[in-house]
Amino acid sequence: MLKKVAIAAAIVAGSLVAAVPSAALANTPAAAVTAAATPLIKAQDLKNLVGQPDVRILDIRAEKDYAAGHIPGAISTPYAQYRGPQDNPGALQSEAKLTDVLRKAGIDAGSRVVVVHAGSDHTDFGAAARVYWTLKAGGVSRLSIADGGTAAWKAAGGALETTAPNVTPSQFSFRYDKSMIATKDEIAAALQAGKAPVLLDARPASFFKGEQRADASARYGTLPGARALDNAGFFTKGDVTLKPEAELRSLVQQAGVDSTPTVSFCNTGHWAATNWFVLSEIAGNKNVKLYPESVVEWSKTDLPMDNQPSRITALLQDAKRSLAK
pLDDT in tens, 261-309: 999 999 999 999 999 999 999 999 999 999 999 999 999 999 999 999 9
Which pTM does this prediction carry? Answer: 0.89
Enumerate residues 6+ apart whose C-beta is below 8 A from 250: none
- Rounded average pLDDT over 109-113: 95
Handedness of CA 276, 123, 145, 253 (dihedral sign): negative
Query: What pLDDT, in 10s, does the model give residues 216-231?
Result: 999 999 999 999 999 9
151-194 pLDDT, tens digit each: 999 999 999 999 999 999 999 999 999 999 999 999 999 999 99
Give the list of residues 6+ apart from residue 196 with CB closer than 8 angstroms, or none. Answer: 187, 190, 224, 225
Same topology, domains 2-16+182-324 and 30-155? Answer is yes
Beta-bridged to residue 181, according to DSSP, are 290
* Class for the domain spanning 30-155: alpha beta
Integer Cα distance of 313 and 310 in angstroms: 5
Number of CB atoms found within 10 A of residue 85's CB: 8
Question: What's the sign of the alpha-carbon dihedral 118, 123, 125, 131?
Answer: negative
Domain spanning 2-16+182-324: which CATH class is it, in words?
A: alpha beta
Q: What is the pLDDT of residue 35?
A: 47
Count Cβ atoms below 10 Å from residue 180 Cβ, excluding itself.
Answer: 19
CA distance 147 to 3: 41
In the chain, where the domains are located: 2-16+182-324, 30-155
Residue 10, pLDDT above cutoff 60:
no
Q: Packing angle between helix 184-193 and helix 2-12, nearest 10 degrees?
A: 140
With H, G, I as helix, E, B as strand and everything else as coil, classify residue 320.
helix
Q: Model confidence at 12, in pLDDT bands (50, 70, 90)?
A: very low
